[in-house]
Amino acid sequence: MNKKYDAIIIGAGVIGCPIAYELCKMGYKTLNVDKNPDAGEGSTAGSCAIVRAHYSTADGVAMAYEGFKYWLDWENYLDHVKDEKGLAKYMNTGSLLLKSEGHDWKKVKKNYDEVGVKYEEWDNEKIKQMIPPIDLHKFWPVTRPEDPKFYDEPTEMLEGGIFCPEGGYMNDPALSAHNIMRATEAKGGQFIFNAEVVSIRSENGRVVGITLKDGTQIDSPIVVNVGGPHSFKVNKMAEGVWEGCNIKTKALRHEVMYCPSPDDYDYLNKGYHMSDGDIACYSRPEVGNTFLIGSEDPKCDPQEWVDPDEFYAGKGGPGRDNQLTEAQWKAQCYRWAKRIPTLPVPNQPKGVVDLYDCSDDWIPIYDKSDLNGFYMAVGTSGNQYKNAPVVGRMMAELINACERQGLEHDKTPFQFKYQYTGRVMNVGFFSRKRAINKNSSFSVNG
């Protein structure tokens, strides 16, 4: 007899875990299966775990702001579960968005007003006072170090920024997923690791279970794809699901760099999370007084869409595997080094290479599918870490509404009420059937 669960969640990352957690709280008997040896060891571990509110859509801002409240209330959220590895910690640094041509900051400001996000406007003088080593010249447009224009002397200045006192990062993203796993287990959820799904079984247009690589069959009337960068492969395993999506997902290679802070600047304790569209970079402090420097995917940078299995096995070949590249190291670090002119850039690249599970419009798909009982929380595009607990609640409610209350979500989209801010979210916004959202930034900014 195959083991049977009320719901199987494929993936035990920072989104797979909270979906299981919320389903367990509703009385579902859940199982998370993951290829990795532990919770959060996939692309979650490579996440910068930034918690910030600026998104290009009001819905995006609202969801991030809602998520922020969960992180603040972490122990309560976990129902005070004990994790032998300790708890992940939210580090509130405040978040500075520099006003630049790279961001539609006016729209962000409007969204902040609409949702009620607290913010201050800082002029250059104030920024300089708060971040002494910063150079506020305008370097736009974004170029690469191979391009001689990269070294042009800037003449104009930026025009200040928008500062949110509420913003920061989680200090250990993998641990945060592990915490939610322990909370889920406390509510009866189960997890199996080193378990790769090779097929999704269905009968008469309804999912019936999964088969693992070792041949084990596990049955469930509900299967949720939270496979991260592997999501498109999982969708292709399920009958008609891939074909039924108007918005598809793919795995995008992404590099994040670590650069030591200048000696005379305590970035770790005094610095902010910063988003800088003028040079298409973002940064946050990291232990060891280090700048963690990510890229906002400017048009001049190459995009590598890769096979996630080859990538993680280190077999994708140069520039397509999980090794930092010298060219991108210089591009990202030198861009940031323009902003912080005293930033020392080591010769040896140091950082993290991981994958985004990227959708066609960089907005995630949180939806049912064309196969009954098969759901997906995919296409998180490098910008959904902060939303994970909200997504967990939203997906669980969506699944429950469809499965137990007969909701026809494709016809009358589920309306999800935020617990903290009280706003109502039309989950149809995240539909797989949507047209490409033209309002998106088409970048990690979402």
Longest Cα–Cα distance of the chain, Å, equals 73
Query: What is the DSSP secondary structure assignment for residue 38, as one 8-state letter?
Result: S
Asked whether position 37 contacts another protein by CB under 8 A, the answer is: yes
Minimum CB separation of residue 326 from another protein in Å reads 4
CB nearer to another protein: pick between 94 and 319: 319
Residues of span 127-166 touching another protein by CB under 8 A: 151
Q: Is 238 in contact with 202 (CB distance < 8 Å)?
A: yes
Q: Which of 172, 163, 149, 54 is nearest to 107 (CA)?
A: 54
How many angstroms separate the CA atoms of 105 and 109, rounded?
6
Q: How far apart are CA 263 and CA 267, in angstroms?
A: 10
Residue type (1 letter), 416: F
Q: How far apart are CA 156 and CA 139, in angstroms?
A: 8
**Residue recorded with tokens 């971040």:** 131
Shortest distance (Å) from residue 48 CB to another protein:
20
Among residues 155, 204, 348, 412, the one that binds another protein under rule CB under 8 A: 348
- The residue (of 27 and 344) whose beta carbon lies closer to another protein is 344
Q: How far is the CB of 330 from another protein (least distance, A)?
A: 9
**Binding residues for another protein, total number by CB under 8 A:** 27
- The backbone torsions φ and ψ at residue 359, rounded to the nearest 5 degrees and listed phi first, read -95, 170
Enclosing H/E stretch for 3: strand 3-4
Per-residue b/e over 261-289, b at no fewer than 16 CB within 10 Å? bbeebebbeebbbbbbbbbbbbbbbbeeb
Q: How far is the CB of 199 from another protein (least distance, A)?
A: 27
Which two tokens mark 284?
């946050």
Residue 318 interacts with another protein (CB under 8 A): yes or no? yes
Nearer to another protein, 94 or 260 (CB): 260
> Shortest gap between Cβ of 292 and another protein (angstroms)?
17
Give yes or no for residue 301 binding another protein (CB under 8 A).
no
Minimum gap (Å) between residue 124 Cβ and another protein: 19
Considering only residues 141, 221, 244, 319, which one is a binding residue for another protein as defined by CB under 8 A? 319
Distance CA 14, CA 45 (A): 9
Q: Quick one: 24 or 292, whose CB is closer to another protein?
A: 292
Distance set, CA 98 to CA 129, 227, 413 (Å): 15, 34, 36
Q: How far is the CB of 308 from another protein (least distance, A)?
A: 17
Q: Taking contact as CB under 8 A, which single stretch among the options 65-73, 88-96, 301-309, 324-332 is the one that binds another protein? A: 324-332
Structure tokens at 355: 């994958």
Question: Of the candidates 61, 343, 407, 444, which one interacts with another protein according to CB under 8 A?
Answer: 343
- Interface region with another protein, contact rule CB under 8 A, candidates 215-223, 267-275, 346-354, 418-426: 346-354
Instruction: Calculate the CA 24 to chain-centre distance.
Output: 23
Q: Is 326 in the site for another protein (CB under 8 A)?
A: yes
- Closest distance of CB 293 from another protein, Å: 13
Q: Taking the CB of residue 120, how many other CB atoms lie within 10 A of it?
A: 12
341 near another protein, judged by CB under 8 A? yes
Q: Does 342 bind another protein (CB under 8 A)?
A: yes
Interaction residues for another protein, span 69-108 (CB under 8 A): none
> 186 CB contacts (<8 Å, ≥6 apart)?
79, 81
**Among the residue ranges 18-26, 199-207, 318-326, 392-400, the one whose residues contact another protein (CB under 8 A):** 318-326
- Angle value at C-alpha 17, between 16 and 22, nearest 5 degrees: 105
* Residues 439, 232, 300: CA angle, nearest 5 degrees: 50
Name 313's Cβ contacts closer than 8 Å, sequence gap at least 6.
Answer: none
Output the smallest distance, CB 335 to another protein, in A.
9
Closer to another protein at the Cβ: 174 or 223? 174
> Which residue ranges make up the site for another protein (CB under 8 A)?
37-38, 41, 151, 260, 314, 317-319, 321, 323-326, 329, 334, 337-338, 341-349
